[in-house]
Structure 1
Amino acid sequence: MNRREAIRNVALLLGSAISASTLSALEGCNPKGPDNYALQAPETKSFLAEIAETIIPETSTPGAKAAKVDEFIVVMLNDCYKPEDQKVVLEGLKKIDEASQKQFKKSFVDLSAEEKTTLLTAIDKERVDYNKRDNKKEGDPTHYFQILKELTLTGYFTSEPGATKALRYIAVPGKYEGCIPYTKGEKAWAV
């Protein structure tokens, strides 16, 4: 199984499709290292950590911050995404902060958890509308929040805390069971 198939399987497990930009990022990584140092900035990383934690907050299981999803996002964007997609994400981060300033008169990182959720819910609705629009052409950039959500989910559910605490996980399964009954409300299997 190659990396593209593995990520596609994770997406199916999570019940969603992965955008073309994410799949194209899985084609190969940039061996020469990061080109976009704006993604390496501490304020960008902390901003990404706050967004990821809002998408997957800490509950009875660790959240995205505990899984260090912000670091995963930065590495994936720098090493695997095209410069155009990196630019879309960086511009999207500016849009999130501008929307925060406009709606709450505060920077996104200074918002309460409820305010962050309210703002990102509105941006997610914008993403859905963007993807459903009638005049969408092939080659149009992926919505920045689509990329951020996908990387957050992929980073979280492939991390140790996500795979072992949020999903059911057996390090060394004892036997193969092809059909296991599922009770509503149970965790999905990590492997």
Structure 2
Amino acid sequence: MNRRTALRRLLYIAGGTLLLPACYRQSGKETIALTHLVIDEEQENLLAELVETIIPASDTPGGKELLLHLFVLKMVDDCHNPEDQEAFITGLSSFASLAREQEGQDFIKMDANKRIAFLESLKEIENEEVKRFYGITKRRTIQGFTNSKYVMTDLKKYELVPGRYNGYFKMT
């Protein structure tokens, strides 16, 4: 065995040991580390689809592409009081069961028009848990979108104060 073959095999083994933990993601665990909320993978996927429905992808990136569902989870985990966190978790499970009960299928499996119609029908329901959950999610999704790197760098062109000088502006 020559030295080049030995080094090549050693690099293959080292690369394999570095990549091996990434292959064993425990299914059912959340993507982001949370201290107060306990969310499983199914609930995280539901929240991702809800965020994508609120801010759909078009010529701009959507909510799922900007990872706004993780922003919502982190904000609820860090910035809301324990009552809001509990309402968020119970509202998330109530939202999933309400969608299944009203539409006959899971929210994730609905097409975009059915999702929008279902979200518009939430105004008339009397379930306060779902309304509170949807309100928190919508508010934090919009906050995350307006504070995202995409909006701040590509969409919004910032001019320093006092702005540019226009010498031809007529004073009346």
Give TM-score scaled by structure 2 length: 0.66
The alignment's C-alpha RMSD in Å is 2.8
Provide the identity percentage: 27
Displacement, 1:179? Answer: 10
2: CA distance, partners of 1:145 / 1:179: 45
Corresponding residue number in structure 2 for 1:87 = 86
Corresponding residue number in structure 2 for 1:35 = 36
Corresponding residue number in structure 2 for 1:168 = 156
Corresponding residue number in structure 2 for 1:151 = 140
* Larger RCO, structures 1/2 (Cα 8 Å, 6+ apart): 1
Does the C-alpha gap of structure 1 residues 157 and 168 become closer, same or farther in structure 2, counting only changes over 3 Å?
same
Secondary structure class of the residue paired with 1:108: coil
Q: Alpha-carbon deviations, 1:45-76, whole Å to 9, x = none?
A: 21111111101101111111111101101111
Aligned residues: 131
2: CA distance, partners of 1:94 / 1:118: 19
Displacement, 1:149? Answer: 0.7
Structure 2 unmatched ranges of 5 or more: 1-33, 167-172
Corresponding residue number in structure 2 for 1:187 = none
Secondary structure class of the residue paired with 1:143: helix
For 2:91, the aligned partner's letter is G
| Greater C-alpha radius of gyration | 2
Secondary structure class of the residue paired with 1:110: coil
Q: Is the CA contact 1:67–1:162 (under 8 Å) kept in the aligned structure 2?
A: no
Q: Alpha-carbon deviations, 1:146-183, whole Å to 9, x = none?
A: 11110010011101123334x3224xx46632899xxx
Structure 1 unmatched ranges of 5 or more: 1-32, 132-141, 181-191
1: CA distance, partners of 2:51 / 2:164: 34
Does the C-alpha gap of structure 1 residues 121 and 163 become closer, same or farther in structure 2, counting only changes over 3 Å?
farther
2: CA distance, partners of 1:78 / 1:59: 29
2: CA distance, partners of 1:178 / 1:57: 34
Displacement, 1:89? Answer: 1.3
Does the C-alpha gap of structure 1 residues 91 and 178 become closer, same or farther in structure 2, counting only changes over 3 Å?
farther
